[in-house]
Copies of this chain bind each other. A is one copy, B any other.
């Protein structure tokens, strides 16, 4: 039995202090952001409306999710296992979920205050650098908080639970992932329903610009940026951080014992310094673009992180595996130096982050061929724009997935044939990838803040042309950074999920050894991970199918909610003709209410699907097919997530190319074609795509948590096939019932909205 020595405890305590330090830095940065001038009263008025809408939505969302969390905690208690661990895991679940929610709320809270300050900065001389600085510092606050809270949570669990920490941390990661998934889905539906609805009536039907104050959906659109792109993203990256750490700690303990449990914490603590460095060195010099500055900040801080991690490996780890006391059977690893393999694995992760940054930039940047090609197809209409964007998305997905696969292969080769060591190194590569998470969060927050700033400027009408151009430039940079963040986030999902696969196998083996009997016949095939078994292959198909269904549900939810908003905005224009002549003020609040109501209702179905599908497959078909299910979900998930994110990014920037005056410029047919492309891309890149990342992790963690129960009900010693099948049927019933319920309701609403629309047209 492993016991943590006092040196390790000291190291972990220091790490906890570093985490507190990171939080303190976040606090200082926050003060700096809030110290900037707030702009004119009109700007503040608009910002106030956005703040209220965003707070109201998140509060209602948290109340809804609190109920769900109580149910999950109850279910966690029902799982077999040691009582202490079960209590700890449930408490950790609540902490993980709470931290995830807190980070999301904080991100939103600050973003809705930073946006007006960025808009105000754009009106002053030197506004470009100042605006970028405020936006990036805002991101810095969120980034430092993500790192600080993630590290603090993990370090405290290790200090309290010592060698039992991994089991408890599963709860922490699960809570973080589950809440992040709901925030991604709910926020994603909110933001894109508002955005699509606003564009369809405003830009397309009425021919008024984006963010025009006459459009009743503009405030909702700005609220959406904050609850989706900001709060959802912050929670998502926090959960990436937490889950990767959980995987690394579980596998580190198995492969390298005490040092393996502590080293991943050291690597991520280095991430705190890297984030701080990144936030402070990122400054726009002279007339360079914001993207250049951000890229420079990223690469410099990533390099610093890699060097520090290498030093840490050589200082902290011993020179041979004999000096480590892992519990897993590593095989013959005498030829390997733990310091070298650990340092190289972290380096692979850092390099992977850099390559993804580059690939995503290549496929979505306005200056590169793929997006230029999408823009060029606008000459032959919207259909070719959509097709070209889909082509770009597929291709970029393949190259990104190929790069991630190559990184896993590289790490696998590094392990010299030891599967257990390879799994730990994959997790370490994930930690390496995440040393840059602070900078990444800062980069991503940049997007919604500058987008909102532009909106406030447009609505207030109090920013001159030069200021508006500054904000437009910042917004375009935000588009690319947002796409990059999604690539990085999904890479962490693949690495964490791959590593968690190992934990899953370990959990199954452990459960088997507890019942002290391996079954035969049907049970053997149920415990069989061989992919050539027909049922395992069925698992692979079902895993991929879950990703497709989840994506389809998210996209449908946006289409539906956007439709409701289109009808509401049209109604306001129709019933209040004074809006168009600026004589009447649109009822912004009604659109915010519709978005809030619809998003909260629509998030239930994909959430239930994600949580219950693995339960149905696991109890129904066994642990082998469940492994296949996870594999299929990871394979289809990574491709789908990147396809959705990058085709969306390419369409968005293709529109910007046309708006910059190519192929006829604003108002031309080519412009209209690219607007259609961009609208298709909206739910792709901001609703369905980013939610796949937490989806994969939630399903992995559910599988990990239920594995012992599945084994217990399957092996002949105490098999209870009736209960097993009953659980599977109930889970499948909940998942499919939620889908069916959502369909029935949607059909009813379609009919209702069609009738009311027809009645309205009849009146007119």
Binding site for B on A (CB under 8 A): 196, 200, 204, 331-332, 369, 373, 376-377, 379-384, 386-388, 390-391, 393-395, 397-398, 401-402, 404-405, 408-409, 411-412, 416-417, 419, 422-423, 426, 494, 498, 501-502, 504-505, 521-522, 524-525, 529-538, 540-546, 548-549, 551-552, 555-556, 558-559, 562-563, 566, 621, 627-628, 631-632, 634-636, 638-639, 643, 675-676, 679-680, 683, 747, 750, 754, 757
Contacts and interface: CB of A to CB of B under 8 A. Distances in A.
Given A386-B676, A541-B404, A631 B531 contact: yes
25 contacts: A377-B559, A380-B566, A383-B680, A384-B679, A387-B558, A387-B559, A387-B680, A390-B555, A397-B545, A398-B548, A401-B541, A409-B621, A411-B534, A416-B522, A417-B522, A417-B525, A419-B533, A501-B531, A502-B532, A530-B531, A537-B631, A540-B635, A631-B631, A632-B635, A635-B635
Given A398-B545, A538-B405, A631-B540, A377 B532 contact: no
B680 A534 contact: no
A91 to B, nearest CB: 29
Nearest to A402: B545
A521 B417 CA distance: 6
A200 B383 contact: yes
Nearest to A567: B380
A544 B636 contact: yes
B628 A383 contact: no
Nearest to A423: B534
Most buried by B among A381, A404, A635, A643: A635
Given A384-B559, A395-B549, A417-B525, A494 B541 contact: yes
A522 B316 CA distance: 29
B498 A380 contact: no
Contact of A680 (B386, B494, B505, B643): B386
Contacts of A504: 532
A679 B380 CA distance: 12
B408 A537 contact: yes
A627 B556 CA distance: 34
A627 B536 CA distance: 12
Contacts of A532: 501-502, 504-505, 529, 627
A366 to B, nearest CB: 16
Contact of A534 (B373, B412, B536): B412
Contacts of A549: 394-395, 398
Contact of A535 (B412, B525, B556): B412
Given A544-B639, A548-B639, 4 more contacts: A200-B381, A384-B679, A388-B559, A426-B534
Most buried by B among A382, A416, A522, A628: A382
A558 B387 CA distance: 9
Contacts of A377: 559, 563
A561 to B, nearest CB: 11
A59 B183 CA distance: 57
Contacts of A384: 196, 200, 559, 562-563, 679
Contacts of A559: 377, 384, 387-388, 391
